[in-house]
Chains A and B, each alone.
Chain A
Amino acid sequence: AQTVTQSQPEMSVQEAETVTLSCTYDTSENNYYLFWYKQPPSRQMILVIRQEAYKQQNATENRFSVNFQKAAKSFSLKISDSQLGDTAMYFCAFMSGAGSYQLTFGKGTKLSVIP
């Protein structure tokens, strides 16, 4: 079974600064997907970014980027130019193979952006 570990229960960052959230995972598979989801106080689960394991290039979505280290089984999320609206819980998640659609989540990191 896969496991996902987020070692930072809480973090804070000044508005406009950069912050990195950590995630490690354990799997014996070679083909998989990794995700970061954002959960604001509204409770909605919002997909932030996705990384395919077979792609060496790190995924980027506007101010959000990842550092995917396959050999180290590490998948960190970098948020640049932090905004107040980035305040939320962030969950790292693992999906094995194509078509499985079963996500394994980490316990989350609570991020607070300070004005």
Chain B
Amino acid sequence: NAGVTQTPKFQVLKTGQSMTLQCAQDMNHEYMSWYRQDPGMGLRLIHYSVGAGITDQGEVPNGYNVSRSTTEDFPLRLLSAAPSQTSVYFCATGRNEKLFFGSGTQLSVL
């Protein structure tokens, strides 16, 4: 029982490159979400999903795409990376009014 698994743990991109951050859960939770954490800030919501086939925007969605084809997976796509997207990214699942976080992906965009 791995909980919430994020890959990769670290990534360096060049401006304009694309990539996908992976998030997988084995807890059968309907709710999944993506947050970013910048220095001196708390986490901010990027996108979320309340079930397969349903996604919606959070507080800071610009520059990011998501899809949810299965309950288990919720990938976050950066289509054209920008230095402003340098951050630590967390995936989370929710049940019974509690959120459970993955270990994060540290992304640097040069």
Contacts and interface: CB of A to CB of B under 8 A. Distances in A.
B110 to A, nearest CB: 21
Contacts of B33: 101-102
Interface string A23-46: 000000000010100000011110
A52 B97 CA distance: 9
Main secondary structure of the interface of B (DSSP, over half): strand
Indicate the size class of the contact surface on chain B: 20 to 34
Contacts of A101: 31, 33, 48, 50, 94, 97, 99
Nearest to A98: B97
Interface string B28-51: 000101010000111111001010
A33 to B, nearest CB: 5
Interface in A47-101: 47, 50, 52, 91, 93, 95, 98-99, 101
Interface of A: 4, 33, 35, 42-45, 47, 50, 52, 91, 93, 95, 98-99, 101-108
A45 B97 contact: no
B45 A107 contact: no
B107 interface: no
Interface in B26-78: 31, 33, 35, 40-45, 48, 50, 58
Interface of B: 31, 33, 35, 40-45, 48, 50, 58, 88, 90, 92, 94, 97-101, 103-104, 106
Nearest to B56: A102
Given A91-B42, A98-B97, A105-B44, 19 more contacts: A4-B42, A33-B97, A42-B103, A43-B106, A44-B101, A44-B104, A45-B90, A45-B92, A45-B101, A47-B98, A47-B99, A47-B100, A99-B97, A101-B48, A101-B99, A103-B35, A105-B43, A106-B42, A108-B42
